[in-house]
Structure 1
Amino acid sequence: MDLVAEVLASCARTPRATAIIDPRGRELSFGALRERVLRIRDRLAGAGFEPGQSVLYAVQPSPDAIAVALGAVAAGGTLVFADPGLAPGVLEARLRLARPGWVVAESFLYAITATAAGRALVRRRGVLLPALSQAAVRHAYTGRWLPGVPSGAVRLHGLDAPFDAALGEADLDAPAAVIFTSGTTAHPRAVVHTRRSLAAGLQIFMDRFPLGPGDVVHTDGLMLGLPALIGGATWSMPGSLDGRGVTHLYQVPVEAARLTELPGTVRHLLLGSAPAPPAVLRRCLEICTGEVHSVYAMTEALPIALAGAEEKLAYSGGDLLGEPLPGVGVRFTADRELVVSGPHVARGYLGEPPVTEVPTGDLARLDEQGRLVLLGRKKDMLLREGFNIYPSLYEPSIAALPGVREAALIGLPDPATGDEEVVLALVPGDGFQEQAVRRRLPEVMDAGALPDRIQVFPDFPRAGRSHKLDRPALRDQLTRPR
């Protein structure tokens, strides 16, 4: 199965049906989507794009963004997903690892990053943007031309030239997507998926949730939006739910906790990207007339297991994840860490040898019915709004800032939402100034990992003969009234 070919075949079957509803409620037909994808593929190829090249992709969710992504992959490219909010040092480290030959970005991003004044404007809002025009040799842009778009950049918006409807032979085992999961300037890490592994993951999802004409899937994620397009359903991008007839809704638990009502058309509410606590599950069951599901997955293997809200709430032996989905292999290490395998597992990590299975970092077991039960985390990882935060990646860089002697990132879970407040605990050194440290944090941390607050301690609690940081004790100190 080739995901690009499957999407284009679906477009050809029902050209007049609605393929995508954008955040403002505007509709794009399957026929129009197919034309855009093929024109973008041909436009890139005509501009010298060669199969195997990497594309730094910085486009906000929209129908054009989907067409650009599919068109670049159809041309044989590898999408390198970029967060424009990354600190320059972090993004530069990622670019050194990924070495993209092209950048595809919205014209306004080029315009903002082209001048120091533009970067300063967004910096005042807490976002640091690098100069995208210097990130690669070749450039393409979406939207209208603006000052700051590099000279010779290829326009990918509003194309109306003839296109070639034929699809060439695709190398399904070539990289198709590079997704950075974490990292700092010193240790960036990215998951590499092929067209085959992505298609296998989509197939596993579609086998569990068949989608077809009349279904409307509301999500901002490719791994749920693409199955909708392949099945002939409509992909509804985040925006108002009113009047769209949404049948399948995907939410991060912390987002679901804010919901007050849902349209009666919703048959399936899927929660994922973070554990769904009981309070959120109960709330979702109250407002959803359809079924509520909790999805267990990781970037390296999408998806792994799925459990209904009712069975999760009724289970008393741990956090029930559900039976592994068909095609997903599981095993456990000596210390009970869950390791998964299957055709949907990523090829590996960028710059590292290929893998056939991946450790999840979660401790788990199988119950008597063959269902996965989560026992805890092996790694010291925090989760906030679906973003994985690994303290050990950031703490050394924070501790190296002027005036800081020691640093620790601690998560304080909210029992109502399951989300974690991220607290940066600091032990001050000579010349410590909290505001100065706060200003420097975006230089050494991903935007999604920045702390919610800073707490200063005269010293940290220690444990064992090695006197290492006692994180549980520090967490306990942070939860006490001060």
Structure 2
Amino acid sequence: MLGGLETALRRSHPDRPAVLGRRGIRRGDLADLATMYAGALHHRGLTAGDTLGVAVRPGPRALAIMLAAYRLGLRVAVLDPSAGPDVLTARLALAQPALVVADAAAQAVAGWAQRLAGRAGLALPSLDRLGPVVTVGRRLPGCAPALESRAGGAAPDRSDMDGDAVIVFTSGTTSRPRAVVHTRASVSAGMAAVARLVGPRPDDVVLGGTFFVLVPALASGATVAQPARSSRKLAAQLGRLRPQHTYLTPPQLRAALDAGARFTGSVYSGSAPVSAALLDRARAAGATAAYGVYALTELFPAAAVEAAEKAAFDGDGDLIGAPLPGVSASVDDTGQLLLSGPSAAHRYLGEEPLRNVATGDVAHLDAHGRIVLGGRCKDMILRRAENIYPGLYEPALHVPGVNLALLVGVPAGDGDEKLVAVVEPQPGADERALRAALAAPLARMGAARPDAVVFAPVPVAGRSRKPDRAAASALAARLTAAGDGRG
């Protein structure tokens, strides 16, 4: 699908909008932009198999870079500027990109950009620690040199080659990051699965912001729009565009419904737990169908369930539906859900190929072969559809005067969680001084900054007296409910 998208954009209604909005672009212009980037990257000396770091806001420019990289046979390392400078530096050291392309917002680190960076939750290490960096899009003072425009006609076409396509970082620590590696085959299989599930048509409007939503829609000839950030604008956008297909995370969907949004066509929600009540609200707001989609970074998408089927389920656990065509599901002897299929990741970076994707979810298969979740067996915390891994950030909380510190999730309703830091001071430590000492590491945590910090002994359990995360979460819930936690 990716290999043929550039040609499809140019040959099929090139004057039609590809992406709507202030940063919109026509289909033919998107293809031309991808060709230009391919020529520019080739001119920089990048060849098949090289790794390209991409720190660009989602939109037409990011999509064009991905298409250019695919054409050249490059491997893309997706860099999230909101992860914080220490985590990002460790990820760069692991991926070792030959070049990093970044837009101005991703480079907003100091000086003129301090306020912009604060509003956007962005923090990158200084440019000299990133290695070779070039700017795409508008270049502002303090940015790296621009990626020079090239016609791209001489750039080789490696679209039909095998090998790695993308690196997506998920977890680990600053000393040992972890990243999912998808091949070109698994990415293509995942997008084909989305196309089968959603079924976009040439005249449709599809509202959604993820790569796996954009590409199948554009390949079918549909027009895409990225969701507005504010709930009020999102509700207005839905009313104005009347999309045939809408993909929103559960927090986006809840916010849009709270703002009075009305839906047309089918609605899909995933990236975090999706309750039957939330899907029913979407149906009541006009959606002809509402699906909860179960997906992981390692395998997207895995299963889906429509609102009516989910509401009718009266068993224990959370019904997420039957595995999608090509996906195989099983449960290991610990009760953990295992998945496999053509859209599964090949491996974790630096590790052996995967036989199955270990989801970290406790589950069982019902009599109909449907997947029913029974909770998570990993420490991962889900907040506002973002995966937060405590091990990435807890070491930074151990400043002088701190005996032990944990990041835990506290249920916030409808599958979401609040993130709370439980900090155990050393005997005699001054709480006011500790708060001052924690200010800098907390600020460097970016999107993983806790909603609250509470000072209390961290519960421990077992003969080894390891921290008890479940007990710590319960403690954090009591303290924050009592108003003892402050962010």
Instruction: Give the TM-score normalised by structure 2.
Output: 0.88
One-letter identity of the residue aligned with 1:259: A
One-letter identity of the residue aligned with 2:285: I
Structure 2 CA distance for aligned equivalents of residues 162 and 189 of structure 1: 34
State how 1:156-167 maps to structure 2 within 5 Å. 156=149, 161=151, 163=153
Pair 1:48 & 2:41 matched: no
| Higher deviation after alignment, 400-409 or 334-343 | 400-409
Query: Partner residue of 2:360?
Result: 361
Query: Partner residue of 2:233?
Result: none
Query: Partner residue of 1:135?
Result: 130
Structure 1 CA distance for aligned equivalents of residues 212 and 141 of structure 2: 35
Deviations 1:112-162 (A, max 9, x none): 44xx5357556766643212354123x4322234333445x4235xx6x47
- TM-aligned CA deviation for residue 11 of structure 1: 3.9
Please, which of 223, 226, 237 is the counterpart of residue 237 of structure 1?
A: 226
Query: Partner residue of 1:218?
Result: 207
Structure 2 CA distance for aligned equivalents of residues 127 and 230 of structure 1: 32
Deviations 1:252-297 (A, max 9, x none): 1122111233445x21111100001343233222213310000001
Distance 1:202 1:127, change over 3 A: closer
Count residues in correspondence: 465
- TM-aligned CA deviation for residue 374 of structure 1: 0.6
| 8 Å Cα contact 1:391-1:409 kept in structure 2 | yes
Pair 1:310 & 2:303 matched: no
One-letter identity of the residue aligned with 1:104: V
| 8 Å Cα contact 1:87-1:442 kept in structure 2 | no
- TM-aligned CA deviation for residue 102 of structure 1: 0.6
- TM-aligned CA deviation for residue 207 of structure 1: 1.7
| 8 Å Cα contact 2:9-2:31 kept in structure 1 | no
Please, which of 227, 235, 240 is the counterpart of residue 216 of structure 2?
A: 227
Deviations 1:285-329 (A, max 9, x none): 221331000000100100100001121122121210101000011
Query: Partner residue of 2:438?
Result: 438
| 8 Å Cα contact 2:127-2:144 kept in structure 1 | no
| 8 Å Cα contact 1:54-1:77 kept in structure 2 | yes
One-letter identity of the residue aligned with 2:148: R
Query: Partner residue of 1:295?
Result: 293
Report the 3-state secondary structure (helix = DSSP H, G, I; strand = E; otherwise coil) of the residue aligned with 2:69: helix
In the alignment, structure 1 segments of 5+ residues that lack a partner are none
One-letter identity of the residue aligned with 2:243: V
Amino-acid identity (%): 37
Report the 3-state secondary structure (helix = DSSP H, G, I; strand = E; otherwise coil) of the residue aligned with 1:285: helix
One-letter identity of the residue aligned with 1:469: P
Distance 1:162 1:254, change over 3 A: closer
| 8 Å Cα contact 1:7-1:226 kept in structure 2 | no
| 8 Å Cα contact 1:119-1:128 kept in structure 2 | no
Structure 1 CA distance for aligned equivalents of residues 435 and 24 of structure 2: 46
Choose between structure 1 and 2 for higher RCO, CA contacts under 8 A separated by at least 6 residues: 1
- TM-aligned CA deviation for residue 163 of structure 1: 3.5
Pair 1:144 & 2:133 matched: no
- TM-aligned CA deviation for residue 339 of structure 1: 0.9
Query: Partner residue of 1:193?
Result: 182
Report the 3-state secondary structure (helix = DSSP H, G, I; strand = E; otherwise coil) of the residue aligned with 1:293: strand
One-letter identity of the residue aligned with 2:175: A
Structure 2 CA distance for aligned equivalents of residues 102 and 280 of structure 1: 42
Structure 2 CA distance for aligned equivalents of residues 294 and 336 of structure 1: 22
Deviations 1:14-41 (A, max 9, x none): 222221113x3x6422122112111221
Report the 3-state secondary structure (helix = DSSP H, G, I; strand = E; otherwise coil) of the residue aligned with 1:154: coil
Please, which of 85, 88, 92 is the counterpart of residue 95 of structure 1?
A: 92
Report the 3-state secondary structure (helix = DSSP H, G, I; strand = E; otherwise coil) of the residue aligned with 2:238: coil
One-letter identity of the residue aligned with 2:183: T
- TM-aligned CA deviation for residue 175 of structure 1: 1.4
Structure 1 CA distance for aligned equivalents of residues 94 and 349 of structure 2: 7
| 8 Å Cα contact 2:274-2:292 kept in structure 1 | yes
| 8 Å Cα contact 1:406-1:428 kept in structure 2 | yes
Structure 2 CA distance for aligned equivalents of residues 213 and 133 of structure 1: 45
